[in-house]
Every structure is written in C-alpha cells, then in structure tokens.
Amino acid sequence: MMVLHHSPTSPYVRKVMILLQETGQLETVRLAPAMGTPIDPGTMPLGANPLGKIPALERPEGCTLYDSRVITRYLASLATSGPALYPEGPALWEVLTLEATADGILDAAILMRYEVVLREAGQQSAPWLEAQWQKIARSLDALESRWMAHLAGPLSMGQVALGCALSYLDFRQGDRGWRSGRPALAAWYADFEQRPSMQATMPPAA
C-alpha cells in the first residue's frame, strides 16, 4: 500500500485527496500525519522528501514522489474509473496551465500566511504582503476574463487545483474579498465547492 504524508489543512494535500475521491482510489493509500513550517520541520517527512514538504507519496515499487503536481499525474495514470483529470491532446496544455496558475495562487497565499504567523509584527513587510496579493489578484482577474469557458467544461485537475486555491483564500485570506469584481468566478466556485469530494476534504476550522 502507498503512504501519503498528509495534513488536513494543506491545500496541496487536498488536491491529492480530491483526486483519490474522484477516481475511487482512497483504499490504495494510507495516510501518515505530518506537520511543520519552513522554520521548524516538525514531523515533516524529511527522509521521504528532503525539501521537507507535503504531500509526499511513498510507493512500495519505486521512489517516493513529491510535489502535488507530480503525485496527481501519477495517481491519475493509475485510475481505472472516474473522470480523465488530465485529458489527452491539446486540452492537456490548458489543464496544466490552469493547474499551475492555481498552484501559483496557493504559493503566494501561503507566503502571506507565513509572513504573518512566523514573523513578529515589527518584522513583517506590508509591501511584500501586498506584492504577493497582487500576484493573486492578477491571476484571479485572468481567470475571470479568460478561463470561464474551460471551467465550464469537464472536470479536470486544473479545476480541482483552482477549487482548492479559492477555498484556501477563504480559509486564510478571507478578509481580502477575492470575489469582488469577479462574479463569474465566484458563481463557478459556489457550485464547485458543493462537490462531494470538496465537502469531504474541507479543512478544519482552526
């Protein structure tokens, strides 16, 4: 059985968990709790991933995989049921670009979170925080203006990644009001978050 190093609050882990839900592979993976920060790795799986990050997927038959996009591509290749989250042909490049955009939103949002929780108030940089938010805002604007047709299409890993990213913005940056001026994206997410896989992987409130 594969072992997934896991935290219920990690949006990158959540991407993997949603894929497992959507493709019926939950029983193929055992969850191993992990927790830490860039300052204190805590129980992060340093032996499995020298970068000290999750998710990391230990496989009995091969090397440990890490980075959520590597893991989701691998698990999608094993799926025998459920949607084709990484389609073949030209549509694949759209899915990969959307997934990269969503992960970039997460990267910036998590850096904002670390700036606030890992630095003393006097050491925090307001311009740096705002620069991270501008990356997010530009990405959200691009999604609103250019990606709604893709988001209306069949379920893909790009949509899953975006759902996780928008949920994380609500979770950790809710006061920023990402929905303002983006009605189409907000409407899409209101529908997408009702998927059973999204509801089953909702992070704890703390």
Which residue, 78, 113, 132, sits at the end of a domain? 78
**How many structural domains compose the chain?**
2
Give me the residue label for tokens 């340093």.
46
Prediction pTM value:
0.95
Which residue, 48, 78, 108, sits at the end of a domain? 78
Q: Both 104 and 44 in a single domain?
A: no
CA–CA distance, 79 with 119 (Å, rounded to integer): 42
Which residue, 78, 100, 115, sits at the end of a domain? 78
In a domain, 51, yes or no: yes
Cα atoms found within 13 Å of the Cα of residue 199, Cβ hemisphere only: 6
pLDDT, one tens digit for every residue, the chain (206 residues): 999 999 999 999 999 999 999 999 999 999 999 999 989 888 999 999 999 999 999 999 889 999 999 999 999 999 999 999 999 999 999 999 999 999 999 999 999 999 999 999 999 999 999 999 999 999 999 999 999 999 999 999 999 999 999 999 999 999 999 999 999 999 999 999 999 999 999 998 75
What pLDDT does 205 receive? 74
CA–CA distance, 102 with 176 (Å, rounded to integer): 17
CA–CA distance, 102 with 105 (Å, rounded to integer): 5
52: left (phi over 0), alpha (psi -120 to 50) or beta: left
Q: Both 101 and 145 in a single domain?
A: yes
In a domain, 117, yes or no: yes
CA–CA distance, 169 with 117 (Å, rounded to integer): 16
Q: What is the CATH number of the domain that holds 68?
A: 3.40.30.10
Judge contact between 55 and 5, C-beta under 8 A.
Answer: yes
Q: Both 121 and 160 in a single domain?
A: yes
Q: What is the domain extent for residue 9?
A: 2-78
In a domain, 86, yes or no: no
In a domain, 135, yes or no: yes
Q: Both 62 and 6 in a single domain?
A: yes
What pLDDT does 62 receive? 87
What pLDDT does 14 receive? 98
